[in-house]
Amino acid sequence: MNFRHSFLFSRDLWRRTTPFTRLGLFLCFMCALAPVSLAQTPGGSIIGTVTEKHAGPLAGARISVSNVQTGFTASVSTDVNGQFNVENLPAGAYKVAISANGLVTQEVKVTVKAAHKSKLSANLKPPPPPAPPK
């Protein structure tokens, strides 16, 4: 196939088009991208780190996030560095419960704003020793 004489592959295609044609092509391209930009959600996120009092970053801790007004819940676990990220949360007040096996669960209230990352750090502690028998 010889594309040398084809209009679509011509080297001087750009020179033969008028500025209005170029503007029309640009607008068509931008309209094609519009649905992609609308797919982005205006929600916020909660990011943070969970540590254990004596051991440092805590991998596998459970993070449960509940919207106070709507009851919407989401759960994630921390990674090997003790970090977590709960994304695409509708704006509002949330109750965050952080738990891990053998450690005291910690609850925190967080306000999420649209297109904003709310930061949270938690330090889980072991349960208090049992009281000695009397």
Which of 6-15, 56-65, 105-114 has the lowest average pLDDT?
6-15
Output b/e per residue, 68-105; b: 16+ Cβ within 10 A.
eeeeeeeeeebeeebebebeebeebebebebbbeebee
Mean pLDDT across the stretch 9-31? 66
Considering the domain boundaries, does residue 65 fall inside one?
A: yes
Task: Supply the range of the domain harboring residue 91.
Answer: 44-124
101 belongs to a structural domain = yes
- The answer to whether residue 52 is domain-embedded is yes
Model confidence at 36: pLDDT above 70: no
97 occurs within a structural domain: yes
In a domain, 32, yes or no: no
Q: Are 109 and 93 in contact (CB under 8 A)?
A: yes
Contact 124, 53 (CB under 8 A): yes
Residue with tokens 């919207």, as numbered in its chain: 67
Whole-structure pTM value: 0.67
We report the CATH number of the domain holding residue 67 as 2.60.40.10
Provide the pairing of β-strand 44-52 with 117-124. Answer: parallel
pLDDT digits (tens, 9 = 90+) for 42-80: 789 999 999 997 888 999 999 999 999 999 999 999 999
Domain count, the chain: 1
Residue 120 belongs to a domain: yes
- Residue 6 resides in a domain: no
- For residue 110 the two structure tokens come to 């967080």
pLDDT in tens, 17-27: 677 777 777 77
Q: Within a domain: residue 48? A: yes
